[in-house]
Amino acid sequence: MNILLYDMGSFTYRDVEETLKSLGNDITVVIYPFTDRYRDGFFSERISQILSLTAYDLIFSVNYFPLVAQAAAEYGIPYLSWSYDSPLAERLEETFPLETNYIYLFDRTEVETYRQQGYTRIFHMPLAVNPVRLEKLLRQTPPADYSADLSFVGNLYTSSLDALLAPTNDYEKGYLQAAMDVQMQFYGCDLITPSLTDEFLAEINGTMSSPLTRRGLAFALQKQITYAERSALVCALSELCNVRHYSSTGTRLPAPVHSCGPVKYYSEMPFVFRDSRLNLCPTLRSIISGIPLRCLDIMASGGALLCNYQPELAENFIDGEDVILYNCLEEALDKTMYYLDHEDERKQIALSAKEKVSARFRYSDAITAMLQDVKRGL
């Protein structure tokens, strides 16, 4: 196939491009960072010129872009997008019905939600890894010493919830806090969105200068839960063992957490995962069922994954054999101490996970399946 690959600087772009080429496709790459993904005259004009000069069988992108979707529809070219972000941003669904769309999301629950709303061009595809690239990289000398009892690579996801809710009254704030408190006790389900009833939204929007949408408010609450959960976990674990936190935001947790700054996705992060005895990966709470990319990256790099219960993770990997899953903070602490004291079991879990993820979650298999869907026209 002759494929136009659009990207704006995603983590997985290089692996996707390499895989598409390895499958025998001819690839033309367009890289352009949007400032406004909904309106960009320069980009729209430029991509139209590109599509008018060459006959493409497919446009492929990591994550979904409405301007790309509109250009593809104008020229009658299938547009395949595969997102590692969840949830998708609001307003994107305005272009979902375009018949040239093949929109793949890694969170099955998010797919089901869109399908229930009538968006039939949305499909489920778990994320993937490139075991060949990782194996080659990890034979090299690490650029630094990344050894630790436990590492957490990820942002804390602070939200603007306090500012957002400033106009609300004490009852409304208390209601939302109660909803967050309940959600924090459960993984693998969304209790936040159903709690935001039409009546409640109408009540709080009566005091807002700009109305809040259900999805926007839910995401703000989910980010706040993620921040509270990640902060509590990392700080509590640092009292038990040597913990390193790698983040691109500059947010520093109090000692004894070692705040280490960012690490590069391709050249440094795999060494962190391999050389840390345990790798913490608390899921962003807006990801309801899917396996985040970071979980797969940890396992494919030979790291032992410590993660909250996640339905699709539990369906594909066995707790205590491939992964270490927890359902609350106390269980995370208990399992951390157990596996730090049982080195052979920890190593076997890391090895089993690496073998399983490298066999079942390869880019070549996922991309081949999606391309076959496009060729069949679903």
Query: DSSP labels for 156-182?
Result: -----HHHHTTTS-HHHHHHHHHHHHH
| pLDDT at residue 14 is higher than 70 | yes
Same domain, 274 and 370: no
| pLDDT at residue 15 is higher than 70 | yes
The residue whose two tokens read 């989910």 is 222
Same domain, 96 and 85: yes
pLDDT digits (tens, 9 = 90+) for 109-151: 999 999 999 999 999 999 999 999 999 999 999 999 999 999 9
Quote the domain boundaries for residue 114.
Answer: 2-128+363-376
φ and ψ at residue 349, rounded to 5 degrees? -60, -45
Same domain, 31 and 82: yes
Q: Region 62-88: what's the mean pLDDT?
A: 97
Q: Region 1-30: what's the mean pLDDT?
A: 96
Same domain, 236 and 309: yes
Helix (H, G, I), strand (E, B) or coil at 362: strand
Same domain, 342 and 194: yes
pLDDT digits (tens, 9 = 90+) for 283-341: 999 999 999 999 999 999 999 999 999 999 999 999 999 999 999 999 999 999 999 99
pLDDT digits (tens, 9 = 90+) for 98-110: 999 999 999 999 9
Same domain, 205 and 63: no
Same domain, 162 and 182: yes
Q: Residue 89 and residue 95: Cα distance in Å, rounded?
A: 12
Q: Region 249-276: what's the mean pLDDT?
A: 93
Same domain, 10 and 149: no
| pLDDT at residue 50 is higher than 90 | yes
Q: Residue 272 and residue 279: Cα distance in Å, rounded?
A: 9
| pLDDT at residue 160 is higher than 90 | no
Same domain, 221 and 250: yes
Q: Say how many C-beta atoms besides its own lie within 10 A of residue 116's C-beta.
A: 8
Same domain, 202 and 103: no
Read off the tokens for 120. Answer: 């039939």
Model confidence at 260, in pLDDT bands (50, 70, 90)? very high
Same domain, 185 and 167: yes
Q: Taken in order 251, 252, 253, 257, is the CA torsion positive or negative?
A: positive
Q: Region 49-59: what's the mean pLDDT?
A: 97
pLDDT score, position 252: 81
Same domain, 180 and 294: yes
pLDDT digits (tens, 9 = 90+) for 337-349: 999 999 999 999 9
pLDDT score, position 121: 97
Q: Give the CATH number, domain containing residue 15.
A: 3.40.50.2000
Select from 283, 272, 355 the least CA-distant residue to 325: 283
Give the count of domains, the chain: 2
Average pLDDT, the chain: 96
Q: Residue 313 and residue 300: Cα distance in Å, rounded?
A: 14
Contact (CB, 8 A) for 73 and 23: no
pLDDT score, position 157: 84
Sheet arrangement for strand 101-105 = 26-31, 2-7, 58-62, 79-83, 101-105, 122-124
